[in-house]
Structure 1
Amino acid sequence: MISQLPLDEQLDALRDALSRNEVLTEVLSRSASLDLPGWYLTAGCLFQTVWNTVTDRAPGEGIKDYDLFYFDATDLSWEAEDAVIQSAKQVFADVPAEVEIRNEARVHLWYEEKFGTPCPAYMSTEDAIDSFAATTCCLGVRLEQPGDRWRVYAPHGLSDVFNLVVRPNPVLAPRHVYEAKASRWRRHWPELTVLPWPTAATPT
């Protein structure tokens, strides 16, 4: 079982699984060319590729989009973020998937209006990844020089990802966000074990 392997071997297994998704590896490579500060490819495109690999599905099956996060606190205007988005559209124009780009330094400016919960300003992209609704989602990968070395950020480890366990992370996202996401995922991957939201948890 992969989750029982030493961490370095789990990382090798993660890279092997993600490398089977040709769209993901192409997005990863092109993302590196953008040279965005503190960037990571993150969220569903990663853990869902692993789920597909573990359950013998096509590597890209059920993946809605590819989330590319970066962190630039030097300009918090929408215009600056949109300039990055528009420039990146040219880079990803012929990639057969939607690449969604977000400056995580700006999230606190719009999060409450969208989700009904205040969001403190993030200090880094890693800080943003830490706040995902499920710990299983807290995963980021980027390429670094020299040699396109893979940098993996996985604050909760990889065991749940490989074991198809969805575990709540009640630090920011409200319960209904977690439950809606988990329900959607389980419709596509019925093999998932979805753990309940802790009744005493209150997002802070």
Structure 2
Amino acid sequence: MIGRLPLDQQLESLRAALCRNEVLTQVLARTATLDLPGWYVTAGCLFQTVWNVATGRPPTNGIKDYDVFYFDAGDRSWEAENAVIEAARDVFSGLPAEVEIRNEARVHLWYEEKFAVACPPYESTEAAIDSFPATTCCLGVRTKADGTWRVYAPHGLSDVFNLVVRPNPVLAPRSVYEAKTARWREQWPELTVLEWPSSGAGAAVSPG
């Protein structure tokens, strides 16, 4: 199983799997041209591509959108973020997918109103990725000028390859985790979803 391989081999397998998704590779390449500070392509488009490859589905199957995070603390205004969003419309035009771009330096300004939970200001894009409701989601990739990839995976890659979804109760409420995992299990019934912990570690829920 890939999830039991040494990390360097897991990284090779990750890149091989992600490159099967031609929309994703285009998003990576086009995002690089925007020269955004601290950017990553992140969240579902990454781990769901791996799930698709691992289960023999088309690489883009079930992927709702492609998330791009960046971090610009120098200007936290909506106007500055919207200028980036508007510029990206042209960059991503023609792609058969929705690309969502967000400045993670300003998430704390709107998060509580949307989720009823206060969000301390992030200090980096990585800190924002750390706060996803499942540790399996905590994954970011960007391409560098020399063609190499930078991968941010604070919880490793084993759960991603093993189709395990593990809660990350650091910010997002339980309801967000349970809503997301319910949708994912409909699309990928092979998943093993771990319950939100009442105390200590979550208990396994059998897949399907």
Q: TM-score, normalised by structure 1?
A: 0.97
RMSD of aligned alpha carbons: 0.7
Structure 2 letter corresponding to 1:12: E
SS in 1 for 2:69: strand
SS in 2 for 1:64: coil
Runs (5+) with no aligned partner, structure 1: none
Distance in 2, matches of 1:200 and 1:194, equals: 17
SS in 2 for 1:102: strand
Matches within 5 A, 1:1-204: 1-145=1-145, 147-200=146-199
1:105 is displaced (CA, Å) by 0.2
Q: Which string of whole-angstrom CA distances, capped at 9 and with x for unpartnered residues, describes residues 121-180 of structure 1? A: 0000000000000000000000112x2210000000000000000000000000000000
Q: Which string of whole-angstrom CA distances, capped at 9 and with x for unpartnered residues, describes residues 85-137 of structure 1? A: 00000000111100000000000000000001000000000000000000000
Distance in 1, matches of 2:66 and 2:147, equals: 19
Distance in 2, matches of 1:20 and 1:194, equals: 25
1:191 is displaced (CA, Å) by 0.5
Distance in 1, matches of 2:69 and 2:139, equals: 12
Distance in 2, matches of 1:130 and 1:118, equals: 16
Structure 1 letter corresponding to 2:20: R
Distance in 2, matches of 1:76 and 1:38, equals: 15
SS in 2 for 1:68: strand
Distance in 2, matches of 1:4 and 1:175, equals: 29
Distance in 2, matches of 1:142 and 1:197, equals: 30
Distance in 2, matches of 1:99 and 1:14, equals: 21
Structure 2 letter corresponding to 1:70: Y
Structure 2 letter corresponding to 1:166: V
Distance in 2, matches of 1:5 and 1:160, equals: 12
Runs (5+) with no aligned partner, structure 2: 201-208
1:200 is displaced (CA, Å) by 2.8
1:4 is displaced (CA, Å) by 1.1
Q: TM-score, normalised by structure 2?
A: 0.95
SS in 2 for 1:34: coil
